């Protein structure tokens, strides 16, 4: 999937600071016009990655994830900026402090819009499936599906259960109410 080259029409815009130090293994492509950076996902224990595009001229960043496509902002860009500007000896992919920071980046309403958009597009999903699809920490999702379910009128409903292959436990499948 290609990161969108269309400039965002509304703030915030994300720029990679000049002093950012990106791990070499994250750089997938580096040419005079742009850099493509593949950043590991975190929090859900899967191996997925997401791709970030940086335009060299402005250092503006674009992410390929659905959250960025819908809202022009997501967890991944502040994660990349935070990680690459953090002192090297304090880095860790499973950095829980960064997790805590990024889960608060979108407003609750924006998180819910993205979750609803995804459920409309993809059909019923579990919290973990939603998290993996969006490359969010799973705890960014659970509160949102729960809130959407208890809204008046509800916007999400229980569509049954399945075994979560990661934990082996029964989990709810959530469906958007049209």
Scan for tokens 């900026």, then name that residue.
81
Q: How far is the CB of 50 from Zn ion (least distance, A)?
A: 6
User: Does 76 sit near Zn ion (CB under 5 A)?
Assistant: yes
User: Does 68 sit near Zn ion (CB under 5 A)?
Assistant: yes
Single out the residue of 3, 54, 74, 155 in contact with Zn ion (rule: CB under 5 A).
Answer: 74
User: Does 61 sit near Zn ion (CB under 5 A)?
Assistant: no
Stretch binding Zn ion (CB under 5 A), from 65-73, 97-105, 125-133, 152-160: 65-73
Indicate if the alpha-carbon torsion angle 26, 141, 86, 94 is positive or negative.
negative
Give the chain's count of helices (H) and strands (E).
6, 6
Number of Cβ within 10 Å of residue 23's Cβ equals 14
Q: Are 7 and 14 within 8 A, CB to CB?
A: no
| For helices 127-134 and 142-149, angle between their N-to-C axes, nearest 10 degrees | 120
Q: How far is the CB of 28 from Zn ion (least distance, A)?
A: 15
Single out the residue of 22, 61, 63, 98 in contact with Zn ion (rule: CB under 5 A).
Answer: 63
Of 105 and 174, nearer to Zn ion (C-beta) is 105
Q: How far is the CB of 110 from Zn ion (least distance, A)?
A: 13
Of 68, 77, 75, 76, give the one whose Cα is nearest residue 7.
68
Stretch binding Zn ion (CB under 5 A), from 15-23, 32-40, 66-74, 144-152: 66-74
DSSP one-letter code for 107: -
Stretch binding Zn ion (CB under 5 A), from 35-43, 56-64, 79-87, 102-110: 56-64
User: Does 65 sit near Zn ion (CB under 5 A)?
Assistant: yes
Of 84, 144, 9, give the one whose Cα is nearest residue 76.
84
> What residues make contact with Zn ion under the rule CB under 5 A?
63, 65, 68, 74, 76
């Amino acid at each position: 999937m290609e990161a969108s080259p269309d400039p965002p029409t509304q703030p915030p815009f994300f720029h990679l600071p000049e002093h950012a130090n990106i791990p070499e293994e994250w750089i997938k492509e580096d040419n005079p016009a742009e850099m493509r950076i593949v950043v590991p996902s975190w929090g859900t224990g899967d191996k997925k990655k997401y791709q970030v595009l940086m335009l060299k001229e402005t250092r503006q960043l674009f992410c390929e994830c659905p959250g960025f496509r819908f809202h022009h902002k997501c967890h991944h860009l502040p994660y990349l900026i935070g990680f690459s500007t953090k002192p090297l000896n304090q880095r860790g992919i499973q950095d829980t402090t960064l997790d805590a920071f990024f889960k608060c980046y979108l407003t609750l309403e924006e998180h819910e819009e993205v979750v609803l958009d995804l459920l409309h597009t993809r059909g019923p999903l579990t919290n973990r499936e939603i998290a993996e699809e969006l490359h969010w920490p799973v705890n960014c999702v659970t509160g949102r599906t729960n809130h959407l379910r208890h809204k008046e009128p509800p916007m999400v409903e229980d569509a049954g259960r399945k075994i979560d292959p990661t934990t082996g436990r029964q989990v709810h499948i959530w469906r958007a109410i049209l």
